[in-house]
Amino acid sequence: MNFELKTLSLASAAKTKVNTLIVLVSDTFEAGKDPLSALIAKAVQAKDFSTAAGKSLQAYSTPGIAAPKLVLVGTGHAKPQEVRSALSGAMSALKSAETEKAAVVFAGSPTPSALHAAVLAVAEGTYVYGTTFAKPKTRKLGQVWVGVASMNQALKNRFATAVAMVQGIEFAKEWANRPANHATPSMLAKAAESLVKGLPKSAGFECDILGPKEVAKLGMGSFISVAKGSAEPLRFIVLKYQGGAKSEAPTVLVGKGITFDTGGISIKPAPEMDEMKFDMGGAASVLGVFKSLTVLQPKINVIGLIPACENMPDGMAVKPGDVVTSMSGQTIEILNTDAEGRLILCDALTYAERFKPKAVIDIATLTGACVIALGAVRSGMFATEDKLAQALQSAGHEALDLCWRMPLDDEYAETLKSNFADVANVGGRAGGAITAAKFLHRFAKKYPWAHLDIAGTAWKGGAAKGATGRPVGLLLQYLLSHDAS
């Protein structure tokens, strides 16, 4: 889908030839003398339409309006969340087969954040997954003009960021939505390679793929232990982007890439196990961020690390009670093979040390406990430094991709003690998201570190089943806050 930012007054919007015209009307709307303003004013006066957030009115073949379908959408105070929520509710108007070209016009001058919210809402509301159908489905909507009454550089910059963010979010959705047999570790590695393929060396992107032999040579015994039960060979994906100075320390993103999780020998119950294809949501988000980076090419340095494998229960699978040696040299007693995400992440966190990073952020669909704690609204965020935590929370707020800081008190690590190894991979049920974070914390002592538990936010279940693309927005916004350009 192609987005284009245009200067469109209501008078010019009325003359715009598109299939569907959506007009966003806030509480501060002041009617002009054009046909569209007059229509809005009459609809408000007749109480058929209200500017309150989420209220809408549809009209067809309206005199003086070139678009055959017109949708008025109230946005209240035009705060970003109000714009996004209101516009999301109106997206059914763009899903019809006839809507190939649309315009979304603000009846006034939006803030950059409100403009950003509108782009996200249109993309989210019209997204279509179609890869594995007999006849692949595609989004009918091909062109969207986003209109503002007056243009400035801040709007242009934010629009460009929002469009690039959408591309990253949809790349993450695509790979998270694919069934596990269409998104194996090897396929995930090829997806990473596709991001840098064809780009000139001057762009600063590289992709290295490590297989079982290379991973074994590195001493990643914890990662290897998870992959032992699968016929699919593991892959360790290393993405690099150098847009800043060589002397600048990179930010490292580490994404959990369990392309399917049966639970291993500690096998999961059958209901909803199909959703375990989403267990590589962390990996998908790293791929999505790099997709956005290829578009924006900001002046920053970023490393993406993705340990990718399946967690399967065959005769070679790791068993409860087994002790493995991580890349760091620490030994781990595996009490539950369904706590496998932390076992692959810990070796990637050790590997991250070689880049001398200014910060490392891991992203993982890690614990059901985080879903219980925060639901599907906010991702759980753990951080070793207040400055890093505040930056992530601020980025999430700006990108409409929220997180919430959780504690990292040392006392939570007490339940991870083992009689047979340096650490156990699980503690008790109480505070499960926190004890999982404390396990990872052991392997992230040499740099500022944050952990995002996205088990509640990476996908939706039920009738709306599908990946959300989170937290691509949060991560990209955080990285761009360090852009030197």
Domain ranges of the chain: 2-150, 173-480
What is the pLDDT confidence band of residue 24, given thresholds at 50, 70 and 90? very high
* CA distances to 120, 123, 195, 250, 464 from 295, in Å: 16, 17, 10, 19, 29
Mean pLDDT, residues 349-375 taken together: 98
Q: How much of the chain exceeds pLDDT 70, in percent?
A: 100
The answer, yes or no, to whether residue 485 has pLDDT greater than 90, is no
Residues 435 and 429: their CA atoms lie apart, in Å, by 9
Residues 50 and 462: their CA atoms lie apart, in Å, by 32
The whole-number pLDDT of residue 348 equals 98
The whole-number pLDDT of residue 95 equals 79
Catalytic residues, which ones?
268, 342
Mean pLDDT, residues 311-329 taken together: 98
Contact between 349 and 327 (Cβ < 8 Å): no
Q: Which fold is adopted by the domain 2-150?
A: Leucine Aminopeptidase, subunit E; domain 1 (3.40.220)
The whole-number pLDDT of residue 345 equals 98
Contact between 23 and 40 (Cβ < 8 Å): yes
pLDDT digits 0-9 by tens, 267-304: 999 999 999 999 999 999 999 999 999 999 999 999 99
* CA distances to 350, 420, 422 from 222, in Å: 11, 16, 13
pLDDT digits 0-9 by tens, 155-207: 999 999 999 999 999 999 999 999 999 999 999 999 999 999 999 999 999 99
**Whose CA is closest to 216, among 198, 243, 236?**
236
The whole-number pLDDT of residue 87 equals 96
pTM above 0.85, yes or no: yes
Question: Which structure tokens are listed for 249?
Answer: 């320390």
The answer, yes or no, to whether residue 349 has pLDDT greater than 80, is yes
Residue written as tokens 């150098």? 242
Question: Which structure tokens are listed for 238?
Answer: 């290393």
The answer, yes or no, to whether residue 96 has pLDDT greater than 80, is no
What is the pLDDT confidence band of residue 93, given thresholds at 50, 70 and 90? confident
Residues 229 and 197: their CA atoms lie apart, in Å, by 32
User: Using only C-alpha atoms, what is the Rg of the chain?
Assistant: 24
CATH architecture group of domain 173-480: 3-Layer(aba) Sandwich (3.40)
Secondary structure in 3-state letters for the chain: CEEEEEECCHHHHHCCCCCEEEEEECCCCCCCCCHHHHHHHHHHHCCCCCCCCCCEEEEECCCCCCCCEEEEEECCCCCHHHHHHHHHHCHHHHCCCCCCEEEEEECCCCCHHHHHHHHHHHHHHHCCCCCCCCCCCCCCCCEEEEEECCCCHHHHHHHHHHHHHHHHHHHHHHHHHCCHHHCCHHHHHHHHHHHHCCCCHHHCEEEEEECHHHHHHHCCHHHHHHHCCCCCCCEEEEEEEECCCCCCCCEEEEECEEEEECCCCCCCCCCCHHHHHHHHHHHHHHHHHHHHHHHHCCCCEEEEEEEEEEECCCCCCCCCCEEEECCCCCEEEECCCCCCHHHHHHHHHHHHHHHCCCEEEEEECCCHHHHHHHCCCCEEEEECCHHHHHHHHHHHHHHCCCEEECCCCHHHHHHHCCCCCCEECCCCCCCHHHHHHHHHHCCCCCCCEEEEECCCCCEECHHHCEECCCCHHHHHHHHHCCCCC
Contact between 383 and 405 (Cβ < 8 Å): yes
Which residues, in sequence order, are bridge partners of residue 331?
325
List of residues 6+ apart from 231 with CB closer than 8 A: 312, 314
The whole-number pLDDT of residue 484 equals 67
Mean pLDDT, residues 69-76 taken together: 96
The answer, yes or no, to whether residue 98 has pLDDT greater than 90, is no
The whole-number pLDDT of residue 297 equals 97
The whole-number pLDDT of residue 365 equals 98
What is the pLDDT confidence band of residue 97, given thresholds at 50, 70 and 90? confident
Mean pLDDT, residues 47-66 taken together: 95
What is the pLDDT confidence band of residue 92, given thresholds at 50, 70 and 90? confident
